[in-house]
């Protein structure tokens, strides 16, 4: 039994990062959980979901392959850039004063509840409810 679980976790360690990298946090968690359940039952689903979310977080909310296309889209909208005096990092909570948020079209695969803004000439995906930076697109 321990050998099966070990093999399942090894398989997860190989396949989940690949799937999560392309899908971001939400997709990584979903795919990781499904792969974990298939390989190791309920324990595998829990481990797979957590690993997938972590790996997906490295890829960001927007899939890696969507970044250039989304950047072109967002910059093409002509929205003004907000000047932010501090260094901006993923996870930061940004002050609400002066910021405008814009909807991300559904074709980019960003989970509901996230919007974007432009700060210091960079596209920033934010959860507007918490004002937490989820991703910065260079």
The pLDDT tens digits for 33-79 are 555 566 666 665 565 555 544 444 445 787 888 889 999 999 999 99
- Residues 133, 74 within the same domain: yes
- Residues 103, 80 within the same domain: yes
Start-to-end CA span in the chain (Å): 47
- Residues 129, 93 within the same domain: yes
- Residues 40, 10 within the same domain: yes
Q: What is the tens place of the pLDDT at every residue in 22-39?
A: 445 555 555 555 555 666
Q: Is the model's pTM score more than 0.75?
A: no
Range of the structural domain that residue 125 is part of: 64-137
Q: With beta carbons less than 8 A apart as the criterion, state whether 47 and 40 touch.
A: yes
Distance from C-alpha of 89 to C-alpha of 6, rounded to nearest angstrom: 36
- Residues 105, 46 within the same domain: no
CA trace torsion 52, 71, 95, 135 (10° rounding): 10
- Residues 55, 68 within the same domain: no
- Residues 19, 78 within the same domain: no
**Residue among 101, 106, 107 nearest 133 (CA):** 101
- Residues 1, 46 within the same domain: yes
Distance from C-alpha of 100 to C-alpha of 21, rounded to nearest angstrom: 29
| Structural domains in the chain (count) | 2
């Amino acid at each position: 039994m321990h050998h099966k679980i070990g093999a399942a976790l090894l398989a997860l360690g190989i396949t989940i990062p690949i799937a999560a990298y392309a899908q971001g946090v939400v997709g990584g968690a979903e795919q990781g959980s499904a792969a974990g359940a298939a390989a190791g039952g309920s324990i595998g689903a829990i481990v797979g979901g957590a690993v997938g979310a972590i790996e997906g977080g490295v890829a960001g909310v927007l899939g890696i392959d969507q970044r250039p296309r989304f950047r072109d889209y967002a910059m093409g909208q002509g929205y003004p850039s907000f000047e932010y005096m501090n260094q901006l990092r993923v996870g930061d909570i940004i002050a609400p004063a002066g910021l405008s948020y814009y909807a991300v079209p559904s074709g980019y695969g960003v989970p509901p509840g996230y919007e974007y803004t432009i700060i210091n000439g960079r596209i920033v995906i934010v959860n507007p409810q918490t004002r937490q930076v989820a991703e910065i697109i260079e």
